[in-house]
Chain A
């Protein structure tokens, strides 16, 4: 029974994802028609990371982004074996998805992982910065009990001192900062 709900949910996810892709092309194409275009420069702060979390129904999405310097200590393509190993370890660590948890009562399991980093992508130009983007999809059997987020980044991303967390949990938006070594972050409305 439960797996059925999960399945329909997955279909919904695909629906909104395709909607997003359509939307993205829409916004970009309309932009192409415009005369004045401008370039966007996302922010990139060392020592900091951004985490967004959405829970709707029993489905959840968590996205984490930080400069790779906070994890492996450099932002250039790996030059030797030691650096390649570090990058590989970073990808493995984040794929394991054991650096965050929501408390046992919520009963959330990771159903999808998408880790990407500028350090692993093929490059033609030399960029100034490199980021790690880790995206997870989760299914929570008891979403009503999901109240706090616990992070453990000390071993896998020692350079992250502050994570600015934004969330939408059951329609309520909120934000708070998590500092290295802090305990569970309550995901409740302010």
Chain B
């Protein structure tokens, strides 16, 4: 009965109500969106690397090293020597290692020079290994294994020839046209930056840069053909970073210290989990500020809604008075207004969730390709219920003001004859 009244009353004022609902929807969508992205970014980052004990690169901050070696964000400050990497590999505690060489790209996707160990030992999520969806791991110098997104977006199939570009921009004017690579394998989707990568052998990286020693493209006539380069020494001189798996986790901190004190070359060895924790510590302040701002936006919206309701009370004096006159108790007036507010809030929450899901669905690809963030479209988390209950509670508390005023004044003012 009350419900029907509330619905009918809202419908009667649909213009104002619609605007109110829209403004509340926007602020709730903002709150849920920020909360969702915060959660997803965390789990997306955390699941990207697993099972790797140490990541080693040139001396730099641990965040920088983590970001470029694993997330393909930013660039290395320096390269590190291949010879020293070979020394570290013979350390009795090292179970496996994955060398990584970065710096080239293919149509905006980063190229990673590595070896077969990458496909054997790299793990993501809950210690899942990489799987090939099609083809095989590279065996020759001019062969490439594509991440699933690269293959899908660019429509590549096995056997296709691709040209790599120098540098990491999405449009490059210096192409390694003389030495195309054949696609021999395509990886299964992982939901990590691996999907966005083109993997080639370290020798391939070396080969395409032969004759580039002066820092740019080789002069005409001085370039070395693909066949010629196969006969040359293709052992890399430098790499960008390497990942280490140790035989015993117990040794992790000790090996880290030994590598950080490595005398021949200034190295940084980081524990990926520790570096991630540092990243969250740094970001938590920004996160909290964003949440605070969103909470304030919601409060502002709700205050605005209450103001509208208060202003509307004047117009609705007659409606309330008639209700009282036909025998409704004063509490009905109070409940009616609170119920209307509750309906508007629920409507807004529903709309906000819908907008969020549609928005995430639309922007998912962009977030993945531009920022390496893999966001699920389900915006519901453990604390989402709490957040929404808080919004509803606040709505009811603030709504009590106009509801109480209506309750007090309904009979007295509404039926009074005014001149």
Contacts and interface: CB of A to CB of B under 8 A. Distances in A.
Interface of A: 12-13, 16, 18-20, 22-24, 26-28, 30-34, 36-38, 40, 52, 54, 56, 59, 61, 63, 166, 168, 171-177, 189-190
B87 A27 contact: yes
Given A20-B255, A177-B281, A166 B262 contact: no
A36 B265 CA distance: 8
B93 A16 contact: yes
Contacts of B280: 190
A27 B258 contact: yes
| Main secondary structure on A side of the interface with B | mixed
A173 B46 CA distance: 11
Contacts of A34: 263-265
B278 interface: yes
B264 A54 contact: no
A13 to B, nearest CB: 7
B263 A54 contact: no
A172 B266 CA distance: 27
Interface of B: 42, 46, 51, 84, 87-88, 90-94, 247-255, 258-266, 271-274, 276-278, 280-281
A50 B114 CA distance: 35
Contacts of A168: 249, 252, 271, 273
Contacts, number: 107
Contact of B262 (A12, A27, A63): A27
| Main secondary structure on B side of the interface with A | helix
B127 to A, nearest CB: 8
25 contacts: A16-B251, A19-B93, A22-B92, A23-B255, A26-B90, A26-B92, A27-B263, A30-B264, A31-B264, A34-B265, A36-B264, A38-B263, A40-B260, A52-B253, A54-B250, A166-B253, A166-B271, A168-B271, A173-B273, A174-B273, A174-B274, A174-B277, A175-B277, A176-B277, A189-B273
Please provide the 8 A-B residue pairs with the shortest distance between their CB atoms, ordered closest to farther. A173-B273, A31-B263, A19-B92, A175-B277, A34-B264, A23-B91, A175-B274, A16-B248
Contacts of B261: 27, 40
